[in-house]
Amino acid sequence: MAVGRIYLVGAGPGDPDLLTVKAVRLIERADVVVYDRLVSPGILALVPATAERVFVGKAPKQHTLPQDEINALLVRLGRTGRTIVRLKGGDPYVFGRGSEEALVLAEAGIPFDIVPGVTAATGCGAAAGIPMTHRGLATSVRFVTGHGREDRDLEVDWASLADLNTTLVFYMGLMNVAEIRRQLIAAGLPAATPAAVVCAGTTAEQVVCLGTLDDLPERTARTDLPSPCLIIIGRVVSLARQLAPNLREPAPLGRETVDA
The residues annotated with a catalytic role in the active site are: 36, 58
d(CA 16, CA 39): 10
Give the CA angle between residues 23, 68, 95 to the nearest 5°: 50
The 8-class DSSP code of residue 237 comes to G
Query: Any idea of the CA torsion for 22, 31, 95, 13, to the nearest 10 degrees?
Result: 60
Whether the bond into 228 is cis, omega within 30 of 0: yes
Backbone angles phi and psi of 236, in degrees to 5? -65, -25
Q: What is the largest CA-CA distance in the chain?
A: 61
Closest CA to 79 of 6, 187, 128: 6
**How crowded is residue 134: how many other Cβ atoms within 10 Å of its Cβ?**
16
d(CA 213, CA 35): 34
Q: How far is CA 7 from the centre of its chain?
A: 19
